[in-house]
Structure 1
């Protein structure tokens, strides 16, 4: 399934192998990885493996992170989308989690909010779910701001895993989505 969403400034579509260079630019930046459990990538081969994993998620779950592309320039700015978790996390299993990541040069331009609105509209219209969750590091104020603007509700602080300190656990109920 190729998802194609459009907003005023953006095209949102499946991530393809042609996105290797843009994804490498984003995921090799230490600042982009400051609040996530991963270290920056050091080779495009690592990105190829990430794209293969995402393509498998599209096939297996019908959903994964999607490329966010500038309508005018055609540049992939980052990604935004829904991930389906089958493993247990914070007492939940088989749930949908919303996330986004953008190249640092595109932070603060409203792309996370704009793409998230389109993705969440799609998700609540097409997925059989009453809730979508989001996870942030306690110090990631930019992401917390976006989730608050979208209407996510902070439900609790939890320990992500043994190597990670505490994270925020946000929830959006379908009945609360505008």
Structure 2
């Protein structure tokens, strides 16, 4: 089941069946530098939480696949952070697919979905310090800096976007 499709991408809900892929994605030191690495057990637990969000909230993180080949190249979607009382748009791609516009394309589709289909009033993007690529994606999408915070003991900048800002930033 695909939740979102674009010209180049398909996004489908992640599940515990994606555990081995999740571990491989995060094992790359350049990817893990900002989002951490996972053991198989940690990945299965995280994916179980994502499955629960799909069941309880009707949204969650998705696997990002290329429409032409079906190759899974990353993850993107919406994640509810109870401790922040916020829904975050997140995106992470395998390094081999950086610099091709896929993160912006996937994140824009996720934002369309969140604002238009789920009627969310605001969406955040939590970006770890030094992650210049994700900061550039957030700016292209219209996000603005909201606050400094931390997640799992790591400092990050929280960016925010509302429905009007999203509409204004559309190409």
- Report the Cα distance in structure 1 between the residues aligned to 2:163 and 2:29, rounded to whole angstroms: 35
TM-score normalised per structure 2: 0.88
Tell me: CA distance 1:174–1:46, structure 2 relative to 1, closer, same or farther (3 Å).
Answer: same
Q: Which residue of the other structure, out of 84, 97, 100, is the alignment partner of 1:109? A: 100
Q: Which residue of the other structure, out of 57, 63, 66, is the alignment partner of 2:62? A: 66
Instruction: Report deviation, 1:153.
Output: 1.1
The question of 1:135 aligning with 2:132 is answered no
Instruction: Report deviation, 1:130.
Output: 1.5
Instruction: Report deviation, 1:155.
Output: 2.5
Tell me: CA distance 1:120–1:162, structure 2 relative to 1, closer, same or farther (3 Å).
Answer: closer
Moved >4 Å (runs of 4+): none
Supply the RMSD in Å over aligned alpha carbons.
1.9
Structure 2 equivalent of residue 176 of structure 1: 165
Q: Which residue of the other structure, out of 147, 161, 164, is the alignment partner of 2:154? A: 164
For structure 2, which runs of at least 5 residues remain unmatched after alignment?
Answer: none
How many equivalent pairs are there? 167
1:6-17 aligned at under 5 Å gives the runs 6-17=5-16
Instruction: Report deviation, 1:126.
Output: 2.0
TM-score normalised per structure 1: 0.85
Structure 2 equivalent of residue 155 of structure 1: 146
The question of 1:125 aligning with 2:116 is answered yes
Q: Which has the higher helix share?
A: 2
For structure 1, which runs of at least 5 residues remain unmatched after alignment?
Answer: none
The question of 1:26 aligning with 2:25 is answered yes
Instruction: Report deviation, 1:150.
Output: 0.7
Whether the 8 Å contact between 1:84 and 1:97 is mirrored in structure 2 is yes
Whether the 8 Å contact between 2:14 and 2:63 is mirrored in structure 1 is yes
